[in-house]
Amino acid sequence: MRELAGARVLVLGLGRSGQSAVRFLAERGARVVAADERAPGALAGLDALRAHAELAVGRPFPDPADFDLVVPSPGVPAVRFAAARRALGDVELAFRALAVPVVAITGTNGKTTTTELCARMLVAAGLRAEAAGNIGRPALELVGRPLDVAVLEISSFQLEAVETFRPRAAVILNVTPDHLDRHGSFEGYVEAKARIVANQAGDDVAIGCADDAQARAIARRTRGRAWLFSARGPVECGAWWDAGAIVLRDAGAALERIALDGLDLAAAPPLDDVLAALLACRAVGADVAKASTALAGFTPPPHRRERVAQHAGVTWINDSKATNPDAARLALEALPGPAVWIAGGRNKGVDLAPLADLAATRVRAAVLIGEAADAIERAIAGRVPVHRARDVEQAVEIAGGLAHAGDAVLLSPACASFDQFRDYEDRGARFRAAVQAWIASRGGRT
């Protein structure tokens, strides 16, 4: 990336990805201005950046047109750098600097679990692989690492700022309405997701869910090869679940069957995630039988249908990562019995009404918090008893009093967390702590 030497570059947003971009650019000779509109006290790590960049913090962004290149953080909408001569995100920079094949994983739900699982599978197959991207570790941190494969979780925000990005394997797990406040419409969101396959060709593989119309259609846009996966039944080319086994089939090849008879499906990742990860491994040449052995010891990341406690016959589940209605739907559908459902937060421009029919059959009562409480109550009014809480701690108190033995208390907000919390992890941690305190106050143990 010799063109960076001497270039004047503006980095917008100084979270983890922004700070990694500042260091990466400075090490390659760029003259960097690092900008964030938040007050300096709200940002960690600024002192370490001073050696690499001129800081422009706590004030409006500089004019992007004054720079040779703008590197936006994922949280900065494209309208904020529309005047830039050129804009490349950290994923694009990482792709250009990496010398190994890339597995890129996107979708509305399930990205982090699939990304972590894929990296574990590749290691089990004997390859050097690490995960980064939207997972919380910036993609640029993989540059220079001793790797055979880089596994990247990619959001729609990150895909807005790619140019030549060409993953060897592009996984599209599912595409349902989300982030409409950012993309303007569902069609805009779909088009952002579709950028993951835009530059594929030749032996590149696009892997899409056969049971999701948008994911299937995006996979088939590739100029490489399209593979599909399904937990419901066979596909022509790809992978599916069949009576305790994964079946894989490539065009013109014999069936390969991987038995998973000893796998505890209740504790395992969702089957779609397993199938997608295994196909991604195959796409980069890994031994899929060896890769599948990683499932036995894999625990999904926290805040994703995480069982945090059981007391008096009630199971408490932390699904704080469910930041859109479809994720909440999946969590409700996965429960074996009735739920007291804690929901609410900041809506992302998504219609909440489709949750009403499911809630009517699965939810004993709903406890609503945050900015979207009114909208959710309107959506489920008359179908489910509704209670309101000022915060997650009060919601736990109310839910605990409503739940019966055999119920689950499910935090699955269907909304973003930024109205009352730092992020979904903060929301999940506060829920967990509140549950533990509530049970302890009644002489129980979690």
> Would you name the residues annotated as active-site residues?
111, 134, 179
b (16+ CB within 10 A) / e for 274-304 = bbbbbbbbbbbebebbbbbebbeebebbebb
Euclidean distance between CA atoms 223 and 100, whole angstroms: 20
Q: Both tokens of residue 331? A: 């969590």
Separation CA 72–CA 360 (nearest Å): 43
Strand order in the sheet with 363-369: 306-311, 314-318, 408-411, 339-344, 363-369, 386-388
Residue 12: exposed, middle, or buried by beta-carbon count in 10 A (0-12, 13-18, 19+)?
buried
Q: With beta carbons less than 8 A apart as the criterion, state whether 64 and 84 touch.
A: yes
Closest CA to 256 of 291, 218, 209, 208: 291
What does DSSP assign to residue 417? S
